[in-house]
Amino acid sequence: MTAPRLTRSNAPRPATGIVHLGLGAFARAFVCPFVAEAMAASGGDWGILGVSLQSARTRDALAPQGWAYTAVTLGPDGSDARMIEALTGVLVAPEDPQAVLAAMADPAVRIVSLTVTEKGYCHNPATGLLNPDHPDIAHDLMHPLPVSAPGFIVRALALRHRAGLAPFTVLTCDNLPENGRLVRAIVTDLARRIDPALADWIVANCRFPATMVDRITPATTSADIAMVERLTGHQDAAPVLHEPFRQWVIEDDFVAGARPDLGAVGAQLVGDVTAFEHMKLRMLNGTHSALAYLGYLGGHETIADTVADPAYAAFVQRLWAEIMPAVTAPPAVRLTDYAAALATRYANPAIRHRTWQIAMDGSQKLPQRLLGTLTAALDAGRPAPGLCLVVAGWMRYVGGIDEAGRPIEVKDPLAARLRAVSDSAATPAGKVAALLGVTEVFPTALAPRLRAPVTQAAELLWAQGARAAVARLAGQSSAA
Ligand code: CS2
């Protein structure tokens, strides 16, 4: 007997107050539950209209369910399912960009939030500036109906400006350094190329609070969908699964102060997010990427599998020891406690977060996750061989062939170029030299300083394989 399809409850549906760009699993496991809880606690019309910038998949899955879905907390000792009803609808931007702009220009919408991943900002990761040669930006400069997230924000703000309305707050929830400042620079740069008066109005009136977001949320698989049906007795075509932990630190700087009461449900509203952001990007995302590249090369499928391997468990501790001197602890946080909590989170066996998933888009992730930390270590004269091995691991990964000679499906906006650059040299030293020349990833001032230590790491990695190299750097005499 098949289980009945999940449907929305009879609870009154909130009016839309937020348009969310990039309705992936993370948004539905993090932003939507937080906002739903804030409305339950303190009221307010903060229903979320989701916008998919690419595919119709989520819209098609959620429409028959009245936009409701299941969020499952996966703890080491059991799981817990809840229905999330914060969504008021889902639009698919390529099908109807006009409808997306109309929704964003509606005065009832006071926040446009984003989880579009690093590459969705169409910027140069090494500089943080808009890349005007990005094909989507080139398109959006010429056409009033945009395709990129920055394009939608600018064209929607133009509509509001023309109509004499207040702007919305742009709430970025992506893992980028000083993400509020970064998105403001990108949006105002794009606006200035279209209409300088619009750019001035945005600078004067719009708000771009920085945020630190944190909840490990692997992509949902068909096995997960079957598990959720067994758990809840309902068929849900698009559930999300996530760890118990969550942390949202938000700079309290919204247009007219308008926002859901997120502080009532555990978000931290602060004056300055920078220290939280740096800590999370460097200590969590930096080691996540490290375990992703070196774990994948060492034959591990998930992060939990990787840290169950004692060589990697010891290596990640070594990485934290290299990273912590380059991190300023936020108020009331002890970095050693933060690292210990991360180790426990990574080990959660219920979370099957694939190394391959985290390895995606490394060209967009490396600068803020690893290269800032490496620069700080070099400036202070501290050797950082563990971090250099991670850079070498990324270089080996983007070469596209694993240690057993099998192809790797490298997902990265620069994948084809990275592969060609890697193939242009035959030796590890040659590959390191060639890849350090990719200026979107390696700032020109940093590249020459990385050459010797990353070459040394690469020679070890190519000669001995990832697992033995990790064991060696972790101080374990044998990889057995
Ligand atoms: C991960 C993040 O996929 C990745 O690159 O490092 O998505 C990570 O799981 C989240 O930032 C945790 O909050």
Q: For 42-54, write each residue's pLDDT tens digit.
A: 999 999 999 999 9
In angstroms, what is the span from residue 164 Cα to ligand 1's centroid?
Answer: 39
Q: Whose CA is nearest to atom 11 of ligand 1?
A: 214
Best of 284, 289, 338, 390 for a ligand 1 pocket test (most atoms within 8 Å of beta carbon): 284
Query: For the segment 185-229, what is each residue's pLDDT rounded down to a tens digit?
Result: 999 999 999 999 999 999 999 999 999 999 999 999 999 999 999
The C-alpha angle with vertex 158 and arms to 16 and 110, in degrees rounded to 5, equals 25
CA-CA distance, 332 to 349, in Å (whole number)? 29
Q: Evaluate whether the domain defined by 274-474 bears CATH number 1.10.1040.10.
A: yes
Per DSSP, 406 falls in state -
Q: Whose CA is nearest to atom 9 of ligand 1?
A: 216
CA-CA distance, 405 to 146, in Å (whole number)? 42
Q: From the CB of 214, is ligand 1 less than 6 Å away?
A: yes
Residue 275: how many other CB atoms lie within 10 Å: 17
In angstroms, what is the span from residue 416 Cα to ligand 1's centroid?
Answer: 24
Domain chopping of the chain, boundaries: 16-270, 274-474
Q: pTM above 0.95?
A: yes
Q: Whose CA is nearest to atom 1 of ligand 1?
A: 358
pLDDT digit string (tens) for the chain, length 480 residues: 689 999 999 999 999 999 999 999 999 999 999 999 999 999 999 999 999 999 999 999 999 999 999 999 999 999 999 999 999 999 999 999 999 999 999 999 999 999 999 999 999 999 999 999 999 999 999 999 999 999 999 999 999 999 999 999 999 999 999 999 999 999 999 999 999 999 999 999 999 999 999 999 999 999 999 999 999 999 999 999 999 999 999 999 999 999 999 999 999 999 999 999 999 999 999 999 999 999 999 999 999 999 999 999 999 999 999 999 999 999 999 999 999 999 999 999 999 999 999 999 999 999 999 999 999 999 999 999 999 999 999 999 999 999 999 999 999 999 999 999 999 999 999 999 999 999 999 999 999 999 999 999 999 999 999 999 999 999 975 443
Q: From the CB of 355, is ligand 1 less than 6 Å away?
A: no
> For residue 217, which atom of ligand 1 is closest to its CA?
9
- Token duo for residue 149: 């997230």
pLDDT, residue 131, reads 97
pLDDT, residue 1, reads 65
Best of 31, 173, 175, 360 for a ligand 1 pocket test (most atoms within 8 Å of beta carbon): 175
Going across the sheet that includes 211-214, the strands are 211-214, 247-251, 268-270
Q: From the CB of 242, is ligand 1 less than 6 Å away?
A: no
DSSP letter for each residue of 268-326:
EEES--HHHHHHIIIIIIHHHHHHHHHHHHTT--BHHHHHHSHHHHHHHHHHHHHHGGG
pLDDT, residue 50, reads 98
- Cβ–Cβ < 8 Å for 84, 72: no
> For residue 288, which atom of ligand 1 is closest to its CA?
6
Bridging pattern class, strands 111-114 and 169-172: parallel
Strands annotated E in 266-322: 268-270
Give, for 339, the enclosing helix (H) or strand (E). Answer: helix 335-347
Q: From the CB of 358, is ligand 1 less than 6 Å away?
A: yes
- Cβ–Cβ < 8 Å for 39, 86: yes
Per DSSP, 87 falls in state E
Q: From the CB of 303, is ligand 1 less than 6 Å away?
A: no
pLDDT, residue 480, reads 38
- Token duo for residue 48: 């979320």
CA-CA distance, 277 to 327, in Å (whole number)? 10
Give, for 20, the enclosing helix (H) or strand (E). Answer: strand 16-21
- Cβ–Cβ < 8 Å for 397, 359: yes
- Token duo for residue 179: 């993400």
CATH level 3 topology of 16-270 = Rossmann fold (3.40.50)
Q: From the CB of 175, is ligand 1 less than 6 Å away?
A: yes
